[in-house]
Structure 1
Amino acid sequence: GTLPVMYHCCKQLCCCFVGLFEGLDSCPYCNEPRYDSHGHPCATFHYLPLILCLKALFADKKTCKQLLYRMHYKSNPGKISDIFDSLHYQRFQGCNVRIEDVVFDHLFFNQDTDITIGLSADSVCSFKNCKLTC
């Protein structure tokens, strides 16, 4: 199965002790201790890495077949029945992947196993200090 990754976080939810904060023993915002008197973290945040979740989905035969939906989908010109009919999707399809100024050799939506992921956060943040943690 897919196991979550555990991160230590401030018990007041000010920050997660990763990156620049990884070596700290107290919160840089509220000074709450990272560990209790027994050396255990005062609070933890559990995270399921996206790549591990996607691998688990492709490992299941039934789910894998469903994930290949995009590969078999046939678009009807002039009719939008699916996200794959949208102009935005079609503009990217077959174009080289580009991140900022770096253009990669691989193409968007070129492989049968490519997945389109939509994200809607709606101002949700796991920690109080969203400017620095989200």
Structure 2
Amino acid sequence: MSHNILKWLSGSLILLSVLSCKKQKGVLDDFPPGRFDFVYVLNTSSNQDTVSGELSGPYVKSSYYTFEVRQELSMDKSLKAFSVGTYKKIIDNTFKAQVNTGSTITYENHDADHLFVQFAAGDTLSGSLTLTRKE
């Protein structure tokens, strides 16, 4: 009798562990990877810089969503990638672009072909990143 109970308990434990290992859905799981045109607007104090180009992603690296910039001759070579939030959360999470422009995401909206992110760091830095899927 105790042998059957032990088998039943071990079987239940295995089933419970398999069911609890269900993959958690990421925030951008419904945003398929691909190539995108981007417009990056950075406002610092009284200056506004706008950079546009092409990138690919999203890739999940160290739990962050990363978009890698395709470098072109006229582009700023320090702009290599954008990190947009984490796998679990985008709003109120980190936005990183160039060196030393880490800030907090204040707004995000996306569908399968577009992603729009607004970010800010204090009163002196803000901006947005807009992605549009390439056909």
What is the TM-score of this pair, normalised by structure 1? 0.21
More helix by share: 1
More strand by share: 2
What is the TM-score of this pair, normalised by structure 2? 0.21
